[in-house]
Amino acid sequence: MRKHVLALAMIMSMALSFSVPAADVDSMSIDELKTAYTQLESEKTQLESEKNQLESENSDLKDQIEKLTSTEAETEPSTEIVGTQYTDSATVKIVQKALNDAGYDCGTPDGKAGSKTEEALKAYQKSKGINVNGVITDELLDALGVADQVSDAAKQEAAKSEYTTDLSYNTIARDSESYKDTKVKFRGKVLQEGEIDSTMHYVRLAVDSNYDTIMFITYDTSLVDARILEDDILTIYGTVVGDYSYETVMGATVTLPWINADIVDTSEVNMG
């Protein structure tokens, strides 16, 4: 008898935990209580199953939302500037040439970053999946593969400070041997251009465009991007070799100061 009472109390406790009305429980037999309990257990299992399904569907929805959010973020390219920003003429010119070679038209490489260059930069940056900001950065130089060229150009620019402008044409022309191996800088107009061999060319340069002050300049063709022509304006950074003498068609001997160029600045040359 005691066992039956305990069992009944246990079943009633379980039934009550599933919100079976107390008034109904009082009038129910043990078999009815067992049946009610079994029914409640079944409903509980079903509810738990529905809960698990809803939780699974909720997790799937969260994953879809995260994917959509990630896709939307990817469609909006970053404009962040990574690393140094370059605006100097030498770097801009190198980048313009590289962009042209890659099929992104910048026009004639002139070292000036105008709107056409900016458009080409953005188009290239977008195609490479890097920050689309229309400016020249370390990130862009790496993508174009011209970082080493820019580094070399910077070193060359720094080296220009070694070349003096204190010596005039007349000073060197009067006694070129005394200034042999001196590093000098001169700007002028090309009167004549010629070939010494496949790698070495020369120009006769009218210093400051004065036809009375002419120098003989030799240079390695690797120093220039395109062939130099008459009337081009050049700035020469070079070393005094001595005198160069030649005979004119009239039989007269002409002697000119001879400079071997280390750097040929063609930034004033129209390469178009």
pLDDT tens digit sequence for 245-262: 999 888 899 999 999 999
Ramachandran area for residue 252 (φ above 0: left; ψ -120 to 50: alpha; else beta): beta
pTM: 0.60
pLDDT at 188 over 70: yes
Task: Reply yes or no on domain 85-158 having CATH 3.20.80.10.
Answer: no
pLDDT at 15 over 60: no
Average pLDDT over residues 82-111: 91
Distance between start and end Cα atoms, the chain: 114
Please report, for residues 137, 197, 225, 245, the alpha-carbon distance to residue 94 in angstroms, rounded to integers and kept in the order given.
Answer: 13, 27, 11, 37
Report the pLDDT value the prediction gives residue 121, as an integer from 0 to 100: 96
Report the pLDDT value the prediction gives residue 56, as an integer from 0 to 100: 83
Q: How many CA atoms lie within 13 A of 148 on its CB side?
A: 1
Report the pLDDT value the prediction gives residue 22, as an integer from 0 to 100: 52
pLDDT tens digit sequence for 20-70: 555 565 677 787 777 877 888 888 888 888 888 888 888 888 888 877 766
> Per CATH, the architecture of 163-265 is what?
Beta Barrel (2.40)
Average pLDDT over residues 219-238: 94
- Residue 223: band (very low, low, confident or very high) from pLDDT cuts 50, 70, 90: very high
Report the pLDDT value the prediction gives residue 73, as an integer from 0 to 100: 53
**Domain edges within the chain:** 2-74, 85-158, 163-265
Contacts of 73-82 spanning 24+ positions with Cβ under 8 A: 77/125, 77/126, 77/131, 77/132, 78/131, 78/132, 79/131, 79/132, 79/133, 80/131, 80/133, 81/131, 81/133, 81/135, 81/137, 82/131, 82/137, 82/138, 82/139
